[in-house]
Amino acid sequence: MTCPDLPNIPPGTVLNLNSEDWYHPDEATGDSLHDIVMVVEKVHSDGATATAVSVWVTGHGIACGWPTSDTHPPCIELRVRVEAIRRAVTETAGTDG
Ligand SMILES: [Zn+2]
């Protein structure tokens, strides 16, 4: 398999993304850059190459209440830097003890 060396991201993981950590290929406008806090539904690392610097991530805004609210299709779909995902997991692990 060729895929980025990514940690396992369980659904429900919260990603704090700076404007530099993510982008959307279909919305390549400069004024859309802002910070996003999202709850991961799935990290699509299976379709990425080993040298990929970003992967598709689907999930939900922190405000929509998923998964405690009604189940619904992901309201956020964007490319997130692999680096940012690793960082998020490290931060989560660091607060666990
Ligand atoms: Zn949602």
For every one of its 97 residues, what pLDDT tens digit does the chain have, with 9 covering 90 and above? 456 678 888 898 999 999 899 988 876 555 556 899 999 999 998 878 888 899 999 999 988 888 777 789 999 999 999 999 988 887 766 554 4
Residue 81 confidence (pLDDT) = 94
CA 50 to centroid of ligand 1, rounded, Å:
29
SS3 content of the chain, % helix, strand, coil (to 5): 20, 30, 50
CA 20 to centroid of ligand 1, rounded, Å:
22
CA 71 to centroid of ligand 1, rounded, Å:
8
pTM passes above 0.95: no
CA 75 to centroid of ligand 1, rounded, Å:
5
CA 2 to centroid of ligand 1, rounded, Å:
30
